[in-house]
Amino acid sequence: MSEKQPEAEPNPEASVGKTEKGPNFRAGLMQKVLGYQVSRAIYVVAQLNLADLLKDEARTVEQLAQETNSNPAALYRLLRMLTMVEVFEETAPHRFALTPSGQLLRKSVPGSLYNMILFFGSPRVWQSWEDFSYSIQTGENATNHVFGVPTWEYYSQHPEEAPAFYNFMTESSNQLGPAVVANYNFGGLGVVADVGGAQGNIIAAILKANPHLKGILFDLPHVTAGASQHLATTGVGERCQVIGGNMFEPWPFKADLYLIARVLHDWDDEHTIAILKNCRQAMGANSKVAVIERILPQDKDAALLYYLSDLHMLVGPGGQERSLQQYQNLFKAAGLNFTRAIPLNPPFSLIEGEPEGLLS
Amino acid sequence: MSKAQPRPKLTTEVASASHENNPNLNTVLMRLVLGNLVSEVIQVALKLDLAKLLKAQAMTDEELAEATHTNPAALYRLLRVLVSVGILEESTSHRFGLTQMGQLLQKGVPGSVYSTALFFGSPRARKIWENLLYSVETGENANQHTFGVPTWEYYAQHSEEAPIFYNFMTESSNQITPSLSANYNFEKVRVVADVGGAQGNMLAAILKANPHLRGILFDLPHTTQAAQQHLQKEGVADRCQIVSGDMFQPWPFQADLYLISRVLDNWSDEQAVAILKNCRQAMSADSKVVLVERILPEDPDRALLFYLFDLQMLVGPGGQDHSLKEYQKFFEAAGLRFTQAISLTSPFSLIEAEAVGA
C-alpha cells in the first residue's frame, strides 16, 4: 500500500490492449483454443440439417427455427458466429444464405462433408478425443481407454452409432471411387479385389466404369452383410463376388489388382506388414497391389490436416498416417516392390506395388 | 458452368464447380470441422506444461517425452501439429521451441492464455458445449440441462473444479486491470464498489494503483470467503470493506463509483436491468456506474471470438453479450444515462453511465 506506483509511466499491457495493429497472437491462439466450439457449432448445423434448408435461397432465422424446432434467438447467435468463419452469409438482417463453403455442409453434393461432420461429432469420436492426453502418455488408442473396447467392437456394441461411421466411410468412398476410376488405368486387368472394401462403394464404381472387369469384395462377414444388395442396386452384382473373411488369415482368392483402401492407416507397422504379406502370398507374378492412403506431405506447412488425421488414427483405431518412404519400407518388409504413387482427390494417393520375387 | 464467372452466385452448380476448381474450400472447412482436434492438442500441451519446459531453450521430442513421462513417438506426432498451427517451431530436425504465439501458453506472462485455455478445456466446459444442440433448440443454458444445476451452483457442488473458473477470472482480471487504471480517471472518486467482485482481484489492483481510494467488495457470501486473505496479501485490506449479499436485493452500501465487471453478460436482459436498477437506487447524484464487458463489435471482421464468447454465455450461465446500443437501452430502462465507452485490454471495454436527473 505504501509503495509508490509510477502512474505517469505508460502501462505496457494497456497499450497492448489498445494497439489494434500488428499480429495479435493472443486472439490467434484463443481461436485455436476455442476451435472445438466452432466444430461443435458446425456439428449442430449438420444435426439440424440447416444447409439443405438453404440450398435454394436465403431464409430468415425465424423460418429456419420453425423448420428445425429450435429457438430463434439462440439459432441467430449460432448462425451469426458461423458467418465469421464464412460458412453462412447474413444477406439481410436475420436472413442467412450458404456460402460456397457452406454448400459442402449439404448432404450428397460433390465434396460434401456432411457425414464426416456427423462422424467427428458423434459421441465415440468426440469423447475419445477428450481423452487425448491418454494417447500421448501411453501411445495407445484412447477409444479403448474410454469405452473399454476397441473401435470395431464399440460399433458392434453400439449399433445405433455405427451409421455415423459407415455413412462417413461411404461419403468418402463415393468421392474416392470416381477419383480412382479417373486416375488409374484398369485396361488389361481381369479381376480387381477390394480388400477391406466394406459395402463395396469403391469396387462398384470401378466395375461400373470398366465393364470388362470382374470384382471381389473382401471384408469381415458382419461388414459385408449388406454389400450384395448394394452391388445389385448399382448394377454390378453379377460381376462381383462377396467374400467374408479376416485379412489377417490367408486370403482365399486371386486377383490381378489388390486394392487396399484406407485400411493400413488403422494399423501399426506390425499388423500392416502382416496384411501386405498376406497380399503378397495371394499375388501372382503379374499382380499389382494398390494401397490408397493419405501420404504425409514433405511440406510441413501444408500438413496440418494430415497430421490431425494421423492423431485421429492414434486416438481411434491406434494406427497412423505415413510418409511415402514409410510405405515403401513396409512394402519392402512384405516382399513387395514400390512401383509408383498417383495423387487422387486430396488428401488421398494411390501407392502401387508388385511382387519383389516369387516366394517359395 | 465451367467458364470463369465474375460474380459467382450461390447456386448448386457454381458451388460444386468451385469445389472442383478449388479444393481449398474443402480444406478450409475441414480445418474448422476438425478444430476440436487442435483444441485437444493444445490442452495436452497445457497439461504437460510444454511451454514452461521450452521457456529457456528448445528441446528434442525425446527430451520432452522424458520430462513429461509421455510416449516419445506419440508426443512427436503431437509436436508436429503444434508446429503446423504456429505454436511451436522445429528449428532443426526433431528440436522444438516456442514461437511468439506459443509463449502465451506460459503461465503468468503478459497476455498469457494459460488459465483461460484450461477453463475452456475443462470437463465442465467441454460437456456443456457437447450439448450445444440443446441450447440452440431451447434457448436455455446447457449447464442446467447437463448437470441439473446452474453454473454457480455447479461450482459450489464441485469445489475441486472451482479453481479452474477462478484462475480463469483472475488471469482475465489481471489483464484488464492495468488498462482500467491507465484509461480511467479515478482522481475524483473516493469510494469504489466492485459489485460481483468475487475474490477482489480487480478491486485490489485498483486500490493498489490508487492509494487515495477506499473500496467495497460485494458478492455472494460463499464467493467472498477467500477475499479477506487476498486483500490482505495485496496490502489493501485496511482500505476495503467486504459486504456479502445478493445483488438482486437492495444494495446496502454507498459509493462514488459502482464497478460491475463481467457480471451482466451472465444474465438475461430482465435480470441485467434489475441489477442496474438496484445500482441506480444505491447511487447518489454524483455517482457513476462502470460496466466492464465485451461489446459486440460493429466491424464483423473482428467478431469471431466475441461471437464465440457470446455462445459460451448461452451454454454456460444462460446469458449473452451485447452491442453498445443494447447496453445503452439497459441503462435507459434502469434510469441511467450512458456517458462514455473506453476500450480496455481486448476483448473488454468499459461502459460508463450516470444517474438520470443528476
Residue in A39, A132, A346 closest to B44 by CB: A132
Could you read off the pLDDT of B246-276 as tens digits, one per residue?
999 999 999 999 999 999 999 999 999 999 9
Whether the pLDDT of residue B355 is over 60: the answer is yes
Please tell me which residue of chain B has the smallest CA distance to A47: B133
Closest CA of chain A from B357, distance in Å: 33
- CA A177 – CA B290 distance, rounded (Å): 62
Interface test with A, best of B37, B116, B176, B231 (most A CBs within 10 A): B37
Topology match between the domains A24-106 and A165-355: no
d(CA A330, CA A318): 17
Q: Are residues B72 and B160 in the same domain?
A: no
Q: A308, B38: Cβ pair inside 8 Å?
A: yes
Nearest by CB: B39 against A34, A84, A345: A34
Q: What is the complex's ipTM, to 2 decimals? A: 0.88
| Mean pLDDT of the B207-233 span | 92
The rounded distance, in Å, linking the Cα atoms of A40 and A99 is 19
| Chain B residues 8-27 with a CB less than 8 Å from chain A | 8, 10, 12, 14-16, 18-20, 23, 25-27
Does the pLDDT value for residue B350 go beyond 90?
yes
Domain limits at B78? Answer: 35-103
Q: Do B40 and A36 touch (CB under 8 A)?
A: yes
In a shared domain, residues B200 and B263: yes
**C-alpha grid cell, residue B109:** 506472462
Question: What is the per-residue pLDDT for B122?
Answer: 95
CA atoms within 13 A on the CB side of A236: 26
Q: Is the pLDDT of residue B53 over 80?
A: yes
B214-219 and B240-244 beta bridge pairing: parallel
Separation of alpha carbons B84 and B79, rounded Å: 9
Considering the domain architecture, whether residues B147 and B292 belong to the same structural domain is answered as: yes
| Domain range list for chain A | 24-106, 165-355
Give the burial string for A53-69 (b: 16+ CB within 10 Å, else e): bbbeebbebebbbeebe
Residues of B in contact with A312 (CB under 8 A): 37
Q: Do B61 and B189 fall into the same domain?
A: no
Q: Please report residues of A whose CB lies closer than 8 A to that of B75.
A: 136
Assess whether B94 and B132 both reside in one domain: no
Other Cβ atoms less than 10 A from the Cβ of B69: the count is: 8
- Fold of domain A165-355: Rossmann fold (3.40.50)
Q: Kindly list the strands in the beta sheet with B240-244, ordered across the sheet, starting from the edge strand earlier in the chain.
A: B240-244, B214-219, B191-195, B257-261, B288-294, B348-355, B336-343
Q: Which of A145, A222, A265, A312 is catalytic?
A: A265
Q: Do B77 and B135 reside in the same domain of the chain?
A: no
Residue B108 domain flag = no
- Give per-residue pLDDT as tens, B66-95: 999 999 999 999 999 999 999 999 988 899
How high is the pLDDT of residue A358? 54
Per-residue pLDDT 10s for chain A (360 aa) are 333 333 333 333 333 333 333 458 999 999 999 999 999 999 999 999 999 999 999 999 999 999 999 999 999 999 999 999 999 999 999 999 999 999 999 998 988 999 999 999 999 999 999 999 999 999 998 989 999 998 878 988 898 998 899 899 888 888 899 999 999 999 999 999 999 998 899 999 999 999 999 999 999 988 888 899 989 999 999 999 999 999 999 999 999 999 999 999 999 999 999 999 999 999 999 999 999 999 999 877 778 999 999 999 999 888 999 999 999 999 999 999 999 999 998 899 999 999 997 544
Q: Is A249 helix (H, G, I), strand (E, B) or coil?
A: coil
The pLDDT value given to residue B358: 57
Q: Does residue B166 lie in a domain region?
A: yes
One domain for residues B173 and B303: yes
Q: Please give the DSSP secondary-structure letter assigned to residue A300.
A: G
B7 in any annotated domain = no
Task: For B157-201, write each residue's pLDDT tens digit.
Answer: 998 998 999 899 889 988 899 999 899 999 999 999 999 998 899
Helix (H, G, I), strand (E, B) or coil at B258: strand
Query: Which one-letter amino acid corresponds to residue A165?
Result: F
B138 and B268 belong to one structural domain: yes
Q: Which residues of B touch A137 (CB under 8 A)?
A: 69-71, 74
Which of A8, A21, A17, A55 is CA-nearest to residue B175?
Answer: A17
Record: fold of A24-106: Arc Repressor Mutant, subunit A (1.10.10)
Q: How far is A244 from chain B (nearest CA, A)?
A: 34
> Is residue B296 a part of any domain in this protein?
yes
Confidence check: pLDDT of B21 > 50? no
Q: What is the largest CA-CA distance in chain A?
A: 92
CATH number for the domain harbouring residue B83: 1.10.10.10
Residue A265 is among the residues annotated as catalytic for this protein: yes
Q: Are residues B258 and B328 in the same domain?
A: yes
- Nearest C-alpha neighbor of A134 from the set A148, A120, A117: A148
- CATH number for the domain that contains residue B279: 3.40.50.150
Alpha-carbon span A357 to B318, nearest angstrom:
68
A41 and B CB contact within 8 Å? yes
Sign of CA dihedral B133, B139, B143, B145: negative
Look at chain B and report how many structural domains it folds into. Answer: 2
User: Which residues from A are below 8 Å from B34, CB to CB?
Assistant: 39, 120, 305, 308
Residue B358 distance to chain A (closest CA, Å): 31
Domain membership flag for residue B29: no
pLDDT of residue A193: 98
**Residue A171 touches chain B, beta carbons under 8 Å:** no
